[in-house]
Amino acid sequence: MKNRSKKEKVECPACGRKFKTNSGNIPEHKAKYWNSFGSNTSESGNCNQNKSPFAPTTIVNKIDKVIINDCEVKAGDKVAFTTYPWKLNFQDWNELKEHTIANIYLMDNGKNYLELENIKDEYVPVNIFVKNFIKL
């Protein structure tokens, strides 16, 4: 009698289709839809399985620390920064404002993001800080 392993469900990051698989790999498949910036298909007509840069990011895991401008930053640290030239909903771009870091996350786009206390559902990408970040 053949022993069958349990299949797991995986989702394509590009088109959102779900598959059952033993290996954990996404099989080649046709794209579910076309996005507004062009096709999410490869030259062979199959889905390219790459997440759109315009899609919202999701948390992969929580990390302990990150280095920003040669400063090691952890959850609970107080920092001050401006967001120039980027515009964020919770702060004016040229305002220097103090924040407390609640958590640091690695997102599915491979970048680190800060979660700030008293700011809900908005994360700050670490890569925007060049010279406008101070650890207090």
Residue-range definition of the domain harbouring residue 45: 1-54
Task: List Cα–Cα distances, 64 to 78, 99, 100, 114, in angstroms.
Answer: 15, 18, 15, 11
Are residues 125 and 75 both part of a single domain?
A: yes
Domain match, 65 and 129 both: yes
For residues 119-136, give the mean pLDDT: 82
Tens of pLDDT, residue by residue over 32-67, are 655 545 555 555 667 776 776 677 788 889 999 998
**Best CA proximity match to 84, nearest among 74, 73, 96:** 96
Q: 13, 36, 54: which is the final residue of a domain?
A: 54
What confidence tier does 104 reach under pLDDT thresholds 50, 70, 90? very high
- How much is the pTM? 0.65
Mean pLDDT of the chain: 79
Please name the amino acid found at residue 31: A
The fraction of the chain above a pLDDT of 90, given in percent, is: 20
Cα 11 to the chain's mean position, in Å? 16
pLDDT band at 10 (very low <50, low <70, confident <90, very high): confident
Number of domains in the chain: 2
pLDDT at residue 121 in the model: 79
pLDDT band at residue 94 using 50, 70 and 90 as cut-offs: confident
The answer to whether the bond into 85 is cis (omega within 30° of 0) is yes
Do residues 49 and 107 both lie within one domain?
A: no
Task: Tell me, yes or no, whether 48 and 83 share the same domain.
Answer: no
> Is residue 94 packed enough to be buried (19+ CB in 10 Å), middle (13-18) or exposed (0-12)?
exposed
Residue 92 pLDDT exceeds 90: no
Residues 130 and 80 both lie in one domain:
yes
Residue 71 and residue 28 share a domain: no
Asked whether the beta carbons of 74 and 62 are under 8 A apart, the reply is: no
> What is the rounded average pLDDT of the residues 88-114?
87
Average pLDDT in the 115-128 region? 86
Q: Are residues 37 and 66 in the same domain?
A: no
